[in-house]
């Protein structure tokens, strides 16, 4: 097998930082410089992971504050203005600092080159630049929080966002900078998948995770510039008084909604497509069964990426859009469910007669199928005009996007993290606690958000600080659910951090995966592969067999050749 690794096998040591002669990418050099200036995709992936999980923690704190405020009608812990700022920051942090970079930047960065048998991504310096831009954008958002935040909602709708006081310019500038981080990551992944596939690995020889990252990258590169232009126009109107969106200045506020959702709807697929890619890996590896309908799953990722650009108008059904446009966007919205359903049915077909291991990665994969099912199907309620008029801007919407973003993407993120954790950090985590935490997250999540479907269908509006007392019981149940959810996340953080210090040493291939990342050491060396990996079919699990003595799955001698 050739590719860049073939040419220079000699392990190189990083030039950035104090080299130690350590054997793996974690201990081959030390010092803050060796991390912040690293060109190693694995270290960049880990830095993203730390930054993104810190953002999730911060966004989660705001979520718990929002839920605590909603425990009673009227004031509970904060006043109405502060409440508006809290849900806005919750949404903005969760979207722009956590879930958009999310799986691609953290897990994608670490795993993609390994699954290609490569030493790194095609453009390592651009990769590092995308991380620095992420940090830059995050600093703008944090500065905005420090200066009082914003109360516009994460959607920054005009003309309110061009007139209200608050750090709108800081936040939107942060979003603008973060956009470049996303574009550069996408660009890097597209070039790497095109140029660094080893000889013998055709497009249909790649793991499906890479197809999903590829489809995501297309959206990152094509859609994100639209968001960049939109926020620049918003800043121009706010700072210079140029009439673009504000009717008082001769602008059109609905134009902003078109621009904003032309990015933000495809953006939901930047979130969910990588998650779907993770699920394809988890379902097949942890049922030790070839994925069912490989090509249909691969094509469905591309189909979703294309269709995602054609449905943004379903966010404007009650914004005075024409009936014709409403009908066209409604029909197109239904069509997106077809490629999504293909994935769900193929995952279920893969499980059929599989050797299913009910460990944390599989439990999260099974939870994903159910919760994504609920999230997706309730999307059809909102895609149909008659029901959307009733449900728009209610808690039904809040529940819907938390089932898709939280119940699906975050759950898949957790599944992928537990799947690749032994590879990334060379340690096994407590299986028992991972199952307990997965159960708590699952129950807590459904108690929090299923309740919101019920109160939303009864007319409870979103973004309301106060509410009629008939909704109190739902809010109390939902808040208790969110505390359970938080406990589940805290337990997860504890045993994962514990595993870094005290965890059992991980074998190279603890789960019996057949894709190339499992042929590297756990954790990998700086250059990834000490010897050329053997090119295998990523879903042919007969290539390896379990070795009781080491707890490792080893390539069969006849495969190794
Ligand atoms: C950790 C558990 C979470 C809880 C308890 C939670 C709770 C909530 C609640 C109650 C609202 C509605 C506030 C209102 O309309 O007045 C909300 C809004 C929102 N949440 Fe979450 N959420 C959580 C996680 C997430 C995650 C993981 C994401 C995305 C990755 C997310 C994204 C959003 C967005 C975008 C909004 C809309 C904010 C707005 O109206 O501007 N949430 N969340
Ligand atoms: Cu949408």
Query: Mean pLDDT per 10-residue run, the chain (561 residues)?
Result: 41 51 87 96 98 98 98 96 96 98 98 98 98 98 90 96 92 98 98 97 98 98 98 96 95 97 98 98 98 98 98 97 97 97 98 97 98 98 97 98 98 98 98 98 98 98 97 98 98 98 97 98 96 96 95 94 78
Q: Is the CB of 463 under 6 A from ligand 1?
A: yes
Residue that is written with structure tokens 């830095």 in the block? 47
User: Can you tell me which atom of ligand 1 is nearest the CA of 99?
Assistant: 30
Residue nearest to atom 20 of ligand 1 (CA): 91
Look at phi and psi of residue 31 and say left if phi exceeds 0, alpha if psi is from -120 to 50, else beta: left
- Report the candidate in 476, 423, 412, 419 with the shortest Cα–Cα distance to residue 448: 476
Q: Give residue 146's pLDDT.
A: 85
Distance 268 CA to ligand 2 centre (A): 7
d(CA 342, CA 295): 11
Instruction: Give the dihedral sign, CA 88/90/96/100.
Output: negative
Packed helices 253-285 and 323-351: angle between N→C axes, nearest 10 degrees: 10
475 lines ligand 1 (CB under 6 A): no
What are the beta bridge partners of residue 427?
505
Residue 60 Cα to ligand 1 midpoint, Å, equals 9
Q: CA–CA separation, 65 vs 86, rounded Å?
A: 8
Is residue 495 a contact partner of residue 437, using CB atoms and an 8 Å limit? Answer: yes
pTM value?
0.95
Q: With a 6 A CB cut-off, is 357 part of the ligand 1 pocket?
A: no
Domains and CATH numbers, the chain: 10-560 (1.20.210.10)
Looking at residue 561, its pLDDT comes to 78
Q: How many helices (H) and strands (E) does the chain have?
A: 20, 4
Cα of 153 vs centre of ligand 1, distance in Å, is 11
**Ligand 1 within 6 A of CB of 177:** no
| Ligand 1 pocket, residue 90 CB under 6 Å | yes
- Number of residues that make up the chain: 561
Please provide residue 449's backbone torsions phi and psi, each rounded to the nearest 5 degrees. Answer: -105, -25
| Atom from ligand 1 closest to the CA of residue 88 | 41
- CA of 313 from ligand 2 middle (Å) equals 8
Q: How far is the CA of 311 from the centre of ligand 2 (A)?
A: 7
Find out whether the beta carbon of 89 lies less than 6 Å from any atom of ligand 1.
Answer: no
Ligand 1 atom 6, closest CA? 63
Which residues share a beta bridge with 389?
A: none
At residue 149, the pLDDT reads 87
Q: What pLDDT is recorded for position 5?
A: 40
| Ligand approaching nearest to the C-alpha of 308 | 2
pLDDT of residue 19: 56
Probe ligand 1: pick from 152, 398, 478, max atoms within 8 Å of CB?
Answer: 398
For residue 21, what pLDDT is reported?
A: 62
Strands (E), 401-531: none
Ligand 2 centroid, distance to 504 Cα (angstroms): 44
Q: 545 alpha carbon to ligand 1 midpoint, in Å? A: 44
Q: Which atom of ligand 1 is nearest to the CA of 271?
A: 30
Q: Residues 129-168, buried b or exposed e (16+ Cβ, 10 A)?
A: ebbebbeebbebbbebbeeebbbbbbbbbbbebbeeebbb
- State in Å: Cα 267 to ligand 2 middle: 9
């Amino acid at each position: 097998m050739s590719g860049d690794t073939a040419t220079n096998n000699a392990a190189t040591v990083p030039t950035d930082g104090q080299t130690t002669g350590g054997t793996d990418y974690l201990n081959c050099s030390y010092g803050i410089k060796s991390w912040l200036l690293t060109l190693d995709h694995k270290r960049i992936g880990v830095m993203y992971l730390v930054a993104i999980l810190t953002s999730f923690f911060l966004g989660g704190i705001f979520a718990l504050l929002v839920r605590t405020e909603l425990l009673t009608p009227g004031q509970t812990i904060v006043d109405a203005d502060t409440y508006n700022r809290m849900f806005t920051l919750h949404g903005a942090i969760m979207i722009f600092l956590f879930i958009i970079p999310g799986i691609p930047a953290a897990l994608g960065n670490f795993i993609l080159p390994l699954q290609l048998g490569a030493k790194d991504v095609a453009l390592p310096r651009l990769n590092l630049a995308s991380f620095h831009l992420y940090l830059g954008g995050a600093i703008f958002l944090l500065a905005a929080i420090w200066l009082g935040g914003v109360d516009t909602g994460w959607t920054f709708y005009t003309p309110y966002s061009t007139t209200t006081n608050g750090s709108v310019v800081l936040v939107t500038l942060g979003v603008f900078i973060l956009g470049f981080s996303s574009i550069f990551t996408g660009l890097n992944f597209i070039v790497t998948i095109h140029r660094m596939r080893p000889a013998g690995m055709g497009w249909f020889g790649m793991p499906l995770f890479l197809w999903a990252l590829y489809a995501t990258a297309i959206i990152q590169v094509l859609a994100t510039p639209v968001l960049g232009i939109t926020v620049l126009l918003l800043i121009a109107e706010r700072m210079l008084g140029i009439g673009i969106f504000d009717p008082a200045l001769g602008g059109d506020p609905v134009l902003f909604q078109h621009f904003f959702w032309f990015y933000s709807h495809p953006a939901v697929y930047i979130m969910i497509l990588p998650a779907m890619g993770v699920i394809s890996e988890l379902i097949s590896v942890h049922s030790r069964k070839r994925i069912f309908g490989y090509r249909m799953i691969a094509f469905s990722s591309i189909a979703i990426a294309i269709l995602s650009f054609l449905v943004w108008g379903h966010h404007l059904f009650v914004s005075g859009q024409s009936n014709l446009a409403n009908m066209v966007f409604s029909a197109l919205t239904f069509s997106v469910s077809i490629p999504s359903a293909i994935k769900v049915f193929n995952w279920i077909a893969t499980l059929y007669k599989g050797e299913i291991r009910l460990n944390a990665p599989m439990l999260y994969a099974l939870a994903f199928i159910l919760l994504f099912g609920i999230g997706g199907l309730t999307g059809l309620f909102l895609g149909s005009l008659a029901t959307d008029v009733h449900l728009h801007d209610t808690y039904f919407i809040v529940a819907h996007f938390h089932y898709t973003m939280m119940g699906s993407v975050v759950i898949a993120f957790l599944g992928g993290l537990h799947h690749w954790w032994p590879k990334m950090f060379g340690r096994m985590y407590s299986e028992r606690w991972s199952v307990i935490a997965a159960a708590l997250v699952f129950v807590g999540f459904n108690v929090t958000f299923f309740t919101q479907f019920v109160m939303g269908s009864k007319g409870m509006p979103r973004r309301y600080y106060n509410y009629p007392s008939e909704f109190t019981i739902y809010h109390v149940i939902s808040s208790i659910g969110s505390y359970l959810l938080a406990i589940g996340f805290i337990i997860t953080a504890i045993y994962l951090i514990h595993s870094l210090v005290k965890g059992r040493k991980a074998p190279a291939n603890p789960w019996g995966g057949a894709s190339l990342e499992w042929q590297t050491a756990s954790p990998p060396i700086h250059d990834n592969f000490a010897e050329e990996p053997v090119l295998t079919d990523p879903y042919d699990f007969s290539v390896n067999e379990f070795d009781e003595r080491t707890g490792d799955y080893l390539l069969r001698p006849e495969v190794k050749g």
